Every structure is written in C-alpha cells, then in structure tokens.
Amino acid sequence: MSIHVLYDGWDLAYRPHSPAALHLLAILAHLPADVQASIALPKAVTFALPENASAVIEETSHTAGDKLAWQQNKLAKVFDQVGADLLHLTQAQASLFSNIPTVVSPTGYGNASRSGGFAARLGEALGKGGMSTVQAILWPSDLPKPEDVNNLYELPPIVHPDFEPYQHYHPPEIPELELPETYLLYHGAEDEGTLAQLLQRWSWGAGAIGEYYPLYLVGLGEGAKEYVERMMPDESVRCLAVIAPDSLAKVYQGCSALYHLGPVSPWGGPIRHMLACARPVVGLETPEMDALVGPAAFLVPDGDERAFASAMISIVVNQEIYEPVMKAAYTRSEPWRNNDYGEKLVEVYTDVLGK
C-alpha cells in the first residue's frame, strides 16, 4: 500500500541550514520508493528539491504571527489539498486543534534558541500542547530517551548521504562562496547567551590560531549575525552566507573542526553531520554528547572556559589528538550511512494509520 505523506517545509524555505531543514532532506534521501512525498512550503526555494518529493507552495510571510498561522491552520489546508494520509513534522510543534495523523521528529536546541515576542511564545505554547495529540514521536536509538513521553518510537540515526568523508586538498569549490584553505565551524544554538560564551572562548584562542583558522558561524538569523558583528568585529570570526544545503556538506568536509556549545539536536544536528564527514568535534561533557559522540570528539567539562579554549587550539595544532579523533568519527558514523531507517519509518507510518 502506498502512503502519501505531507512534510512541513517551513524551515527548508526560511532556515535551510537548520536541523529541521537538514533532517527533512535526510528523511527524503532515505525514503522508500513506495512512499509518496509532498513538501508544504511557505515560499519557493532557490535550490533543487529532492526528485522524490513534490512541492506545494502556500505563500506565507516570515513573521512569528504568520508562522503561528502556518502551524495551526495552513498545514491542514495543504494536507487536504494534496489528499495526504499523514503529516510529518521535523519540529516539536504540532497543531493543537488538528485531528490529522501526525508524526514528529524533534530537532533544534530547545529554549536555547527560542525567539522572543508574544506570537512566538504563543506559537511555542500551542505547539507543545499539540504535541500531546500526535500519534508518533520519533527518537534516535543512540540517544537517552526522554522521560514520560507517550507514543515514542526509536529509529536508527541517519544523516544525508552528501555528508560523507571526503578530503578536499584545496578549499571546496562552491560558486557562491570563497573559503580559505583552512577554517573552523560553529553551527548550533544562536541565542545571545550561547553566542556570548562562544565568542568569549574564541577570544582566548583566536590569538594563537585565528589568523590561519578563521571561525565560520553557520545558520545564524539576521539578529544573531548583528549580535556577533557588534560583539566581535574581528576578521577571525565570519558569518557564513546562506547557501544551498548540498553546498553546506562541502563546507563541512573542508573544515578542520566543529565547535559546539549548548544542547544536542536529536535529529539533523551539526554534530552528526560533522562526524559523518570524519571531522573532529570540540564540545561539552553532557550525557547527550557522551552518548552521541563516544570517543569521536574532544569534550571538556561544562563551565571550564579556559579548558574549552585550549581544546579549540589543540584539536587543530596537535596531530596526536586530531588523528585519533578523526578516525573515531569515521567509525562512529559508519552505521548512520547504511541502515534500515527507511523501512522502520514506513513501519511507523503504517502503525499510525492503523490506529
């Protein structure tokens, strides 16, 4: 039996570097051929969409109020329009008033990156209320399970196939971007508190490596970019322009290491993408990070700012640290590239529709 699934493409249109957008593309890349996929988009995108999905555009502006209308009403309109059987969201925000069969793959960094404003807070509250009515919440099988969550299904972790080990001996060739020979990445929560911690740690390490390893910040919204430029107008810190998702994989492959602060995104997060490219990660010791990376990262105690700054430097200048971590990253991510995620996902879809 063919199943017609509508996927929420809000983030794919407005935040193509976000975990929600990247995980949606990963789902589609692993989707079995007998699933019919439609993507609801609030606007047309400038990059190519997967060939196994059709786009349905319901024009919607990028404001908190319009996003609220999208979550609570417009997705249901598109669902009826295309005659879908099931709705799949890649953010933990579902309509409070919908009786549509819904599956959710949680992504993002929780309250760390929550935007302000009444409409945004109302949308989050309604979305969380709607989560109590969804038929399935999908969770990566390698992370600690959340407590007191009903209808939880564990699935194998995945990343998009574009994120794979590849050695660029020169900067990756990306038409819309000129990269230096060597660089570092930050791709994560963009609230001012997390960014302030990142910039503080970088200020201690930039003197030693910043000239040869500039730090590129990926996926920041306009407000976060302005904050970074205001707080640290330094050439060693650069905000990456929005580029096509397939080009983002090349940026990952060409970098020397990823710095990560704050929570771990269950699906679609930068740590998985970095390990899949066999590149080192510097992060904080937390239960979620330990479960996700194992030995494939350089972790330091949370709150020890100088230790983190030291790790920032050591990971790129000390080959005795870099090489083992890189090899461990490859080993850690190997099961993510070839598993039965697609088949397990269809089993969840079938189970939900049978309830």
Alpha-carbon distance of 190 to 75, in angstroms, equals 27
Fold of 3-158+339-354: Rossmann fold (3.40.50)
Query: Of 180, 240, 238, 236, nearest to 203 (Cα)?
Result: 236
Q: What is the share, in percent, of the chain residues with pLDDT greater than 70?
A: 92
Q: Which residue has the higher pLDDT, 168 or 294?
A: 294
CB 75, CB 69: distance < 8 Å: no
pLDDT for the residue numbered 124: 54
Three-state DSSP at 260 gives coil
User: What residues does 37 pair with on adjacent strands?
Assistant: 5, 53
What is the average per-residue pLDDT within 12-34? 96
Query: Of 194, 23, 217, 187, nearest to 112 (Cα)?
Result: 194
What is the average per-residue pLDDT within 215-228? 93
In this prediction the pTM is 0.92
Q: Which residue has the higher pLDDT, 43 or 64?
A: 43
Alpha-carbon distance of 298 to 281, in angstroms, equals 6
Show me where the domains of the chain are located: 3-158+339-354, 184-337
pLDDT band at 123 (very low <50, low <70, confident <90, very high): very low
pLDDT for the residue numbered 328: 93
CB 287, CB 147: distance < 8 Å: no
The domains spanning 3-158+339-354 and 184-337 adopt the same CATH topology: yes
pLDDT band at 302 (very low <50, low <70, confident <90, very high): confident
pLDDT for the residue numbered 113: 46
CATH superfamily of 184-337: Glycogen Phosphorylase B; (3.40.50.2000)
Residue 70, phi-psi category: left (phi > 0), alpha (psi -120 to 50), beta (remainder): alpha
